[in-house]
């Protein structure tokens, strides 16, 4: 991990859940972290609760990944302050329960804008920064097991995840597109998709958490996976990592 010391990692959706855990783990590894979130104040709270000697390693910037102007403003600020982006963790994501045949199209569009276009917007800016500086950086996307298998509904009931799985299937394909493009454009920038099973975040209801019991991951489990992918030597690329808690039946 020494080669990443004093490098700059950008984490989207950094205010809670997986993003908050990843921010703490990257800061703990000595990496300069920029946490992007609509709720910037939550990232500031994370910073305030870090050990005093680590607080300078975290910067909070307001950003709505569904809005291209917001993304460009955030990345302009990052590049002005730090000179560039070395690691990007595309973590921001959302889901809205309901049926695809009847859900409000604006809600469906919002999920797609967050889960798919947010990745595209941020990756374009990060990749350009890496390539322009000849930096062999790393782009990581938080995918889902739902990007590999469409989950049905509870026994005897309709599915409720609607566009979420299709949005994550898109991320699985986008990861491969990026691998081919990064290589074809003459860079050694790495791309990794990390697909967790159930993670203890705000996206999972209390009822489901109760049902899962110990069969659930923590955000720091995902942070550990990210640190592992970053620790691999330059010639090794972890293209896809699927992480499930022991006993998960999905």
Q: Indicate which residues carry an active-site annotation.
A: 164
The alpha carbons of the chain give a radius of gyration, in whole angstroms, of 18
184 Ramachandran zone, left/alpha/beta (phi>0; psi -120 to 50): alpha
Q: Residue 32 corresponds to which tokens in the numbers above?
A: 């300069």
Q: Residue 45 corresponds to which tokens in the numbers above?
A: 């709270």
- Residues 70 and 76: their CA atoms lie apart, in Å, by 10
- The answer to whether 174 and 116 have CB atoms below 8 angstroms apart is yes
The alpha carbon of residue 68 and the mean position of all alpha carbons in its chain are separated, in whole angstroms, by 17
Is residue 97 classed exposed, middle or buried when 0-12, 13-18 and 19+ CB atoms within 10 A define those classes?
exposed
Q: How many residues does the chain have?
A: 250
C-alpha dihedral over 220, 221, 227, 229, to 10 degrees?
-150
């Amino acid at each position: 991990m020494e080669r990443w010391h004093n490098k700059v990692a950008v984490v989207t959706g950094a205010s809670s859940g997986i993003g908050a855990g990843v921010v703490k783990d990257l800061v703990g590894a000595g990496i300069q972290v920029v946490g992007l979130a609509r709720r910037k104040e939550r990232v500031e709270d994370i910073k305030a609760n870090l050990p005093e000697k680590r607080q300078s390693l975290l910067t909070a910037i307001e950003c709505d990944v569904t809005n291209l102007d917001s993304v460009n403003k955030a990345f302009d600020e990052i590049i002005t302050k730090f000179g560039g982006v070395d690691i990007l963790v595309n973590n921001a994501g959302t889901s809205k329960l309901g049926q695809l045949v009847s859900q409000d199209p604006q809600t469906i569009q919002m999920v797609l804008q967050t889960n798919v276009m947010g990745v595209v917007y941020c990756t374009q800016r990060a990749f350009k920064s890496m390539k322009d500086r000849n930096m062999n950086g790393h782009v990581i996307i938080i995918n889902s097991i739902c990007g590999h298998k469409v989950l049905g509904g509870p026994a005897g009931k309709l599915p409720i995840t609607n566009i979420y799985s299709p949005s994550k299937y898109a991320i699985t394909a986008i990861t491969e597109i990026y691998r081919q493009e990064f290589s074809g454009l003459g860079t050694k920038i790495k791309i990794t998709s990390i697909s967790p099973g159930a993670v203890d975040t705000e996206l999972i209801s209390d009822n489901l958490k109760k049902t899962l019991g110990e069969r659930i991951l923590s955000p720091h489990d995902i942070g550990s996976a990210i640190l592992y992918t970053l620790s691999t030597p330059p010639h090794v690329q972890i293209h896809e990592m699927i992480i499930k808690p022991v006993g998960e039946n999905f």
